[in-house]
Each structure stands twice: as structure tokens, then as C-alpha cells.
Chain A
Amino acid sequence: MSMQNSNSSAAPSWPLLTGVSVVGVYAHFLLHAESQIAVLGLAVGAILLLIAFSRFGWTARVATSAATYPKLLGAGAVAAVVLVAAVSYEMHFALLMLTTVLLYSTVCLGLNIQFGYSGVVNFAGAAFFGIGSYTAAVLASHSPLPHLLIVALAGLVAALLGSLLILPVLRTRGHYAALITIAFGILFKTFLEVNDALGGPQGLKIPGMEILGWKFNDNIAIGDHELSFYLNYLVLSLALCAVTFVLVRRLERSWMGLSMDVVRLDETAAATFGVDIARWKITAFTLGNGLAGMAGAIYGMMTGFVAPNNFTFGDSLILVSIVILGGIGNPWGILPAAAIVLILPEKLQFIQEYRFLLYALLVILILLFRPDGLLPRKIRNYFPGDAGR
């Protein structure tokens, strides 16, 4: 931490604070934009502004500032989300979207540990998300367990079901390993469709969350104002996402993250240096699936409904697209990528129908021309600021 003090004179904190505020204000306008032209204008404006800012070198200053004050960046991001949510306190739809972005980001942070750090491919992200939702549906309807415990259990069940795949995932590599998770994702959805006990294709209802008598599905009344009930879920999802984020960052900076990177980059070298390949693959796979399960449970309780059609192979691909779009291995890239992939099609009604087509084209273009994603992962930075590089 002494480095931080010596660097503070070199890199000021205001570019970071300005950057976070600009993004926050932008998100606010995007969420509140009503007309199609306004949304389109905002989308095009963002691209033009980004190009202009990087011409003037402003983005680089924000990046340096962010690298100098990582904690301030985290706090700023949380504050921005809280402020944007607080301003739209009675708009159900805006809050629903914001919460969805947070929950999908949590899943993608888990996928990031798998794809980005230890190199375990997982094309069944939506299936593990779905396992979480279904676990929440069954446990919340048929057991008196407290709901926070159910969320944790949903993560556990997803991780446990995922561990059925550990043996094949460990024994196979590359394309063979990809097939295992693809087959699992399709198997999961087919199983739910033909299974009557879990509601078949119609799915199940999920009761809303309730913690210590606080009903999440009731609007919150403060004086004359009525706050949207989605605020409850937003706060919970923000907490989950923030904790996950800190966890992922700590993991990356620790010796565990280093070991995972070695396993991904070169298994032979890893084995030669005494890194236990199986251990890190299992850790990454289980952790990622558990996170997907927990996020799935909260999402299910928020929407009140779960059906097999929400967890197709296409949805798993969207999750992977978010990870790739953000920059594989960089947790900071996930939040903006999730926002782009989830909010833009909801807002731009005329592309709603074409969204799968557009994502697919976008990901192909990124893979061809910018394979490291929008915010590429940087080399580990153990000391704040540029000096640590």
C-alpha cells in the first residue's frame, strides 16, 4: 500500500471519478430513453465519443487512474449502480434490466474463472443457471428453508451436478472437452422437457423471496413514495455480484490465479513445475458452476417462473459471448459487455427480433478483428499504478 501513496502524486484520481460518473449518467439516460431514435442516438453517440476520447488520450488517463486506485474504482462502480437505481426507483422495467445485468455478470464472472483462468471450457452455462432456478423453485415451494439458504443451496446443487462432469472434463481436452459440456447442456434441456415432475415444457412457478419477514415481491412504501419491489432484488444481486467480483479479483492476484493461468497456457509445463492440473480445473469448474447456480436462483425468484426454454444452448452461447466480448480473463470487461448484450436489444425494439443474429455477427467480427475483446486482459499488476507493470 505504500506504493499507492508514492504514486498518488503521479496519477490523479479525478479522471477515474469523471469516467465512472460519465458511464453512470450514460447508463441512466439509456435506461430512461423512451423513443427508438433516442436509444439509437445514444448507442451511436457512445461509439463516437469513445473514438474521440481515445484520440485525445483521455481513455488512457482513466485507465491509468483506475489502475492506481483499484478500490476507488470498485467503490465508484457500486455507487454508480446504486445511484442509477435510486433515481429510477419506481421504474420496474429499468430496475429489472439492471438486476438482470448484475446477475448475468455474476454468471459470466464464474465462466471467466473457467474459460479465462484455468482454460476449462463450459458451453453449458445456461444449464447451470437453470439448475439454480429449478432448485429454488422446488425448495422454496416445498420446504420451509430460509430463502438466503436456498440461494446458497442452489449454488451447491449446481456445483454438485456439475461435478458429475468432472471425470470426463478432466480426462478430455480441447474439442473433446467442449463436446462434454455441449452434450450436458442439451441433455439438461431435453430432460426438463420430458420430465413431468418438474413441470415439463410449461415449467414451474417460484415464490418470491422473503428474508426475515421482508417480502421481496412487495413494493416498498416510504411516506408517499412507492419504491419498486425490484429494488430488493437489485440490492441483493449487487451484493452477490460485488462479492463475486472481489473474490475473482483476489483469486486472480493470488498464487491460485497464477497456477490456473499456467494450467491454461501449458499443461505440460504446469505438470513439470508441480502444479496440480486436476485440482485447479476442478476448483474453477465447481466455483463457476456454483456462481451460476446462485445467480440462477435469485433470477428465478425475481421473475417468479422457470421453464426449460430459458436455458437453451443459444443462451449458453450468449453467456460465452459476454465473456468474449468483454475481453476473456478481464473481469472489468464483463459488466459493460453484459450491459451491451442485454440492455441494447431490450431498448431497441426493432433489433429485438434480430438479436441472436446480431450477437452472432458481432462475436464473429470480434474474433476475427479484435480477438482479445473490448477490454483486453492486462498482465498482472501487483502494485497500483503503472510503476508496478
Chain B
Amino acid sequence: MDLGLLGQYLLNGLMLGMIYAMVAVGFTLFFGVLDVIKFSHGDVLMVGTFAGLATYLGLESVGIDSPWLQLLLVVLVSVSAMAVLGALIAKFLILPLKDAPPLNTLLATLMLGSVLRESVRLFYPNGSNPKPFPRLLPTDEWSLGTLTLRVDNLILLAAGVAAIVGVHLLITRTKLGLAIRAVAQDGETARIMGINFEWIVLLTFGLGSGLAALAGVMNGLYYNETNFGIGLLLGVIGFSAAILGGLGNVYGAILGGFIFAGLQTLGSVALPAVLPSVPSAYKDVFAFTAVIVIMAWKPTGLIAEKSSERV
């Protein structure tokens, strides 16, 4: 295999890993503050993509056609709308179920995911068909030998890195981040120290959901297509990535995201090369099998959750 093709696979894998990592960071933030899994996360991402798409169509119809302005507004609307949606979900579904068994929360949010998915399918105009997502980034190409670099992909990669680093700085360097970490460590004590527990929970859910919306818009810009079903698979993948890394650990989630993308890329490149009878379509089968095997080996993820048995 030549280097150019290898580089192409590497870039594609990095891009996927970035999107997965952004979804996984959301899962891990939510688990950190409330010890819950919000399974509707992937579908919030999908709704974010559609919100961005609708914004774009709205801007087109009123005659604003500067791609940079469009991009800015698409991202702004999508991220802020999903941040609000995420906080609303936390307020009306997840906080009321705080004392219920974890299975109930998992189920309720799984079902909420179905509600979001079905709502887009049924109520977005022609929502059951795939939608083209606009190309808002410059598509110039640079050739390095056999490797072609596209400007839009590089911008997306840089945006992803910036988003993840931004969240990291927010959590480790700001007062808000300190409050989030305090709530994650011990909600009761955080309250005694004067932290508004509910506000921090809502802000965390808003932050995670906004990040998911950004990932959704990036996913749309990367593939130039979106449909109502992308949230389920991206949600499961993000969940797998967060769990692979170890729930509650932001670095683990990022690591998990890139590992999953690596497994998928490996599955689509190496599998057909080693076993010619196995087509690259088996990449997801391979990746999920690998996740199950890794979970059997490290039951609480690669960077293990610090927990002690309360008797």
C-alpha cells in the first residue's frame, strides 16, 4: 500500500476519532456530575445537525449567502439550541429520576432518544430521507505526492482539537470547571460549600449537548449528508468510547474515541488485506467485537473509574 493512501486513511480515522471523542466527552461529563448515562446524547447530536441545516435553509431564503457568516450562524444556532435542549432534558427527565435505579434512567433516556429520532423523521419536512448538508468550507486541495489534503478537512480537524482543548481548559482552569469537578466528586459536599448543585448539573448538560451539536455540524460538513438515523449509531459509538476509556474520565473518553475510530479504520483496511474473503463492510462488526473483548478484559475501561464498594 502506498503512503498517500495510508495518509488518507489516517486523516479519515483522525476525523472520525475527533467526532467520537467529542460525543464521548459529553457522556463522561454527564456521568461525572450525576452518575447517569444519558443515552439520548447521540440523538441530541442529530437534532443539532438538523437545527444547523434548518438555519442554513432559513438564511438562504432570506438572502444571506456569505458562507462564513452562514457557517457562524449555523454553528451558533445549533450549539446554543442543543445546549438549551440538553439542560431541559436534565431538568425534566434526568433530575426527577435521580433516585431511581440506574436502569430506569438509562431506559428513560433511550426512549427519549427514540422520541427525538421519530420526531425528526415524522415532523421535519421529508425527514425520513437523507438530506444533503451544505459545503460551507473552502474545498481547495493541496497535493503532497499521492496524498491530497483538503482545506475543509484540515479546518474541521483544527476546530475539533480547539473544541476539545477548550472544554479541557474550561474544566481544569475556570471556576465553573472547579464547580463541575466538585459536584462530580461529591455532590453533597459541593452543596455545603455553596455550589448551586442544580445549576451546575444543568450547565454541564448544556455544555455536553452543545459539544455534541458541534460534533453533529462537523459530521454534516465532513460527509455533506445527514439523516435522522445517524444519532443512534454515533450515540452507541460515543457511549462505547466513553466506556472504553473509563466513565467519568475526560482523557479516557478522548482516548476511547480515537481507539474506536482506529478499530473501525483497521477493520476496513486490515481485515480485507489479511482475510481476502472478508469485505471492509465488516468494520463495525470488527469494532464492536473488539469493544466487547476489551470490556471483558478491562471491565471498567482502560483508565479505570475510581470507585469503592459501599456496603
Contact = CB atoms under 8 A, between A and B. Distances in A.
A22 interface: no
A248 interface: no
A194 B311 contact: no
Interface stretch (B65-73, B92-100, B139-147, B212-220): B92-100
Nearest to B92: A368
Given A187-B288, A353-B122, A364 B239 contact: no
Interface band, chain B: 35 or more
Most A CB within 10 A of own CB, among B102, B119, B296: B296
Interface string A303-322: 00000000001100100110
A194 B110 contact: no
A239 to B, nearest CB: 32
A92 B247 CA distance: 51
Contact of B292 (A168, A194, A268, A354): A168
Given A174-B102, A175-B37, A182-B236, A190 B285 contact: yes
Contacts of A182: 236, 239
Interface stretch (A217-225, A334-342, A355-363): A355-363
A175 B243 contact: yes
Contacts of B292: 165, 168, 180, 183-184, 187
A183 B309 CA distance: 27
Contacts of B309: 268
A349 interface: no
B14 to A, nearest CB: 23
Interface residues on A, range: 35 or more
Contact of B285 (A165, A191, A368): A191
B288 A183 contact: yes
Contacts of B236: 182-183, 186, 313
A367 interface: yes
A283 interface: no
Contact of B295 (A168, A353, A368, A371): A168
Given A167-B296, A187-B288, A357-B122, A363 B111 contact: yes
B196 interface: no
24 contacts: A168-B293, A168-B295, A171-B295, A174-B102, A175-B106, A180-B292, A183-B240, A186-B233, A186-B288, A190-B284, A191-B282, A194-B281, A194-B282, A317-B110, A354-B118, A357-B118, A357-B119, A360-B114, A364-B93, A367-B104, A367-B107, A367-B111, A368-B93, A371-B100
Interface of A: 115, 121, 165, 167-168, 171-176, 178-180, 182-184, 186-187, 190-191, 193-194, 268, 313-314, 317, 320-321, 324, 353-354, 356-357, 359-361, 363-364, 367-368, 371
5 closest Cβ contacts across the A-B interface?
A360-B114, A168-B296, A194-B281, A357-B118, A360-B111
